[in-house]
């Protein structure tokens, strides 16, 4: 069986870290924001929160608050692994600023996300995932900028969210809104391989 390498972003593709962040913001401001209010990747621009405070708020997220972007995600990952996909999770984090890596790993474990490897890249390097793209047959991310950066080296897929739905991704191989759609796309492609 041929092995296919699949790089998967964590935040915004597997785990919903925006909702707990919004809960912290709502508690601080007495507001009622939800994920649909995150209309841009730049939280400072959308909510007027200083960058340091944004990072501090992410560091307050408890892993018990983090849910899946799509409840089908664990089953789809397991199916892809059974079909020969090597799953490498890739996430951009600022050490000691965003919620800690232990909480991230606990969230993945809580939701029974099985994977082969995990890589942490520096958030400050806006092209960090693009530099890894040549290692993968496929990659999925919720950042349109990252998808455009990866697309020259791999089949890059945009996982749609309110903050990226209108962003241009001319180089994207595909755009998906669910893990079931992602499964059909990938399995359909390897059948044609």
CB neighbourhood size of 20 (10 A): 21
Report the percent of the chain where pLDDT is more than 90: 56
pLDDT, tens only, 160-169: 988 888 888 8
- Cα–Cα distance measured from residue 134 to residue 127, given in angstroms and rounded to the nearest whole number: 13
User: Where are the alpha helices (H) located in the chain, listed in sequence order?
Assistant: 18-29, 43-47, 51-59, 73-82, 101-110, 128-132, 144-150, 179-191
Q: What pTM does this model have? A: 0.90
- The pLDDT, as a whole number, for residue 75 is 98
Render pLDDT for 15-37 as a digit per residue (tens, 0 to 9).
998 999 999 999 999 999 999 99
Residues facing residue 155 across a β-bridge: 138
CA distance 93 to 15: 14
Q: Mind listing the domains of the chain with CATH numbers?
A: 4-16+67-191 (3.40.50.1000), 18-65 (no CATH)
pLDDT band at 124; cut points 50, 70, 90: low
**Paired tokens of 166:** 């209108």
N residues, the chain: 193
What is the residue whose two structure tokens read 């089949």?
155
113 HSE (CA, 13 A, CB side): 27
Q: How far apart are CA 104 and CA 66, in angstroms?
A: 9
pLDDT band, very low/low/confident/very high, at 142 (cuts 50, 70, 90): very high
- At 103, list the tokens: 């909480």
**Cβ(109)–Cβ(67) below 8 Å:** no
- Helix and strand totals (H; E) in the chain: 8, 8
Contact between 4 and 138 under an 8 Å Cβ cutoff? The reply is: yes
In this structure, what are the phi and psi dihedrals at residue 24, rounded to the nearest 5 degrees?
-65, -45
């Amino acid at each position: 069986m041929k092995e296919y390498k699949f790089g998967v972003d964590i935040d915004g593709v597997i785990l919903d870290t925006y909702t707990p962040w919004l809960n912290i913001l709502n508690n601080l401001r007495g507001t009622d924001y939800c994920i649909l209010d995150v209309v841009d990747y730049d939280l400072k621009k959308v909510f007027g929160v200083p960058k340091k405070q944004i990072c501090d708020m992410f560091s307050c997220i408890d892993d018990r608050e983090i849910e899946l972007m799509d409840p089908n995600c664990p089953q789809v990952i397991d199916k892809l692994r059974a079909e020969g996909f090597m799953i490498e999770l890739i996430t951009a984090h600022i050490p000691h600023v965003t919620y800690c890596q232990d909480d991230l790993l606990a969230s993945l474990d809580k939701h029974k996300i099985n994977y082969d490897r995990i890589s942490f890249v520096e958030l400050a390097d806006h092209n960090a995932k693009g530099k890894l793209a040549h290692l993968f047959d496929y990659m999925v991310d919720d950042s349109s900028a990252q998808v455009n950066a990866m697309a020259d080296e791999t089949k890059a897929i945009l996982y749609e969210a309110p903050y990226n739905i209108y962003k241009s991704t001319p180089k994207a191989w595909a755009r998906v809104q669910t893990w079931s759609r992602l499964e059909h796309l990938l399995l359909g492609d390897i059948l044609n391989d």
